[in-house]
Amino acid sequence: IDPTELVVESSLVTNFIAEYYQTLEHRPVQPDVTPGFLTVQLPSEAPLASESVESILQDVYDKILPGLTHWQSPNFHAYFPITCSNAGLLGEMLCSGLNVVGFAWSASPAATELEQVVVDWMGKMMGLPQGLLFSGGGGGVLQGSTCEAVVCTLAAARDRALERVGDDMFNKLVVYCSDQTHFSLKKGSKLVGIRPANVKAIKTTKNNEYGLCPTDLRDLVASDVKAGFIPIYLCGTIGTTAFGAVDPIRELGKVAREFNMWFHVDAAYAGSACICPEFRNYMDGVELVDSFSTNPHKWLLSNMDCCFLWLSDPKRLINSLAAEANYLEGGNETMVDYKDWQIAVSRRFRAIKLWMVIRRYGITNLMSHIRSDVSMAKRFEELMLSDRRFEVVFPRKFSLVCFKLRGNKDDVPESVDEDCGLSRDSELTRELMASVNSSGKAFLSGVTIGSLFFIRCAIGATLTEDRHIEGLWKLIQEKADEICVDHDL
């Protein structure tokens, strides 16, 4: 690092980013490019000589930006938001600028201790039970993604079960979830060696608001146990990816306890909402979990990447993940060594980013940010409900609105398995989404479940304001008008 050069060059990059955000809403949200468009514009060999930051930034502007999907655009409503903020960006700069590696307390004491403080702060902000916090005998860690958190907790659950039943029962270990659980659970199960057939997804229905039904779960687990299987892990979700649905945590927790399963709750997106007391009812029963994870980079203004994982008994995780190396001797055994709480040894100083975000905005402003997104989503849902051509396919809980175009049908099916003309609605809805997205003025994503295809409008990009939602509604109506004319509806 050359500190003098750093001041000059970082201001070039900062100005570049600031201008990007100033002009972002005028860029098409998705790029209009064909595969290989970038490769042909770039030299195939790395440069021998140094180049200036100015010339690199010029290439970013000319060649990279036109090929990006602009996730930070106020018109980006696909998937789930990945929020950003000044504080999030500054926190990332500190993380990267200090570039310390706190794999053990002794490797960078303040990095470990700050993480412990932030983990407890966030847990308290969300109203998590004391038992998940360091101050209450539990504890937590900052990882990069939910997928990593799931892999780590699955490994702990696997080893706990094998200790009880013996290694030769490995093929009998079973993991439970719903058909709405994020696919990272399947991926994680594969990684820890669970047979794909032993990852059992319970079917959800419209009647249960696409939540995991505890009675169905109990019946399945009981019959599996009778057949000689060993239930080891149950994943519940607060804010599913497709609908933003919520599983009944308390009832699922009881089933998990009854059968001695590890109970993990994935609140990747919606966990951030729980900093507002009005959303905490969705966590009812959370004291029954073994672990709980949420990604503040999704909705809490904390730039990529960070996933909080809390555990009621961190020792069980450490038993699975700890490994010693002779070059790591000389630590302090009474302190937390975060290398034993995650997959990798090296780790980023994510805690400093979260610390910056939470301090810079304070809980009050963070709550306002969540509430403002939810209120925009509510407004969008009301607009949808005011036009009979549209159907909101799931009652909105957070800031995700799921809808479809109805053609001219009046009957609403009871279940996504009943077709009732769903295929036709789905075709029209697909056409609507393609038409909105190809306009470049907004980006929405869709989901297919059975014969139902619906559009998800996830509100939460940091720059989105009421006027963008009004504009989006107008755009959707215009495109729906065209489709209705084309199809004689």
Q: Which residues bind ligand PLP (CB under 6 A)?
A: 80, 145-147, 182, 184, 237, 239-241, 266, 268-269, 295, 307
Considering the complex, state which of residue 150 and residue 217 has its C-beta at the smaller distance from ligand PLP: 150
- Least distance (Å) between residue 361 CB and ligand PLP: 22
If we measure between CA atoms, which residue out of 399, 394, 404 comes closest to residue 433?
A: 404
How would you classify the pairing of strands 230-237 and 262-266? parallel
Helices (H), 227-267: 249-258
- Least distance (Å) between residue 197 CB and ligand PLP: 22
* Cβ atoms of 120 and 133 closer than 8 Å: yes
Report the C-alpha gap between 211 and 248 in whole angstroms.
7
Report CA-CA distances (Å) from 290 to 19, 317, 480. 45, 10, 47
Considering the complex, state which of residue 184 and residue 291 has its C-beta at the smaller distance from ligand PLP: 184
- Least distance (Å) between residue 252 CB and ligand PLP: 15
- Least distance (Å) between residue 151 CB and ligand PLP: 10
- Least distance (Å) between residue 145 CB and ligand PLP: 3
Considering the complex, state which of residue 269 and residue 355 has its C-beta at the smaller distance from ligand PLP: 269
Considering the complex, state which of residue 160 and residue 456 has its C-beta at the smaller distance from ligand PLP: 456
* Cβ atoms of 236 and 268 closer than 8 Å: no
Terminal Cα distance for the chain, rounded = 65
**Side-chain-facing half-sphere of 483: CA atoms under 13 Å:** 26
DSSP codes joined into one string, 263-303: EEEE-TTGGGGGGSGGGGGGGTTGGG-SEEEE-HHHHSS--
If we measure between CA atoms, which residue out of 226, 222, 219 comes closest to residue 202?
A: 219
Considering the complex, state which of residue 145 and residue 451 has its C-beta at the smaller distance from ligand PLP: 145
* Cβ atoms of 394 and 245 closer than 8 Å: yes
- Least distance (Å) between residue 266 CB and ligand PLP: 5
**Side-chain-facing half-sphere of 174: CA atoms under 13 Å:** 24
- Least distance (Å) between residue 310 CB and ligand PLP: 15
Q: What are the structure tokens assigned to 150, written together? A: 């799931």
Considering the complex, state which of residue 108 and residue 291 has its C-beta at the smaller distance from ligand PLP: 291
- Least distance (Å) between residue 307 CB and ligand PLP: 5
C-alpha of 201 from chain center: 20
* Residue 199 per-residue DSSP state: E
Considering the complex, state which of residue 86 and residue 145 has its C-beta at the smaller distance from ligand PLP: 145
Considering the complex, state which of residue 345 and residue 447 has its C-beta at the smaller distance from ligand PLP: 447
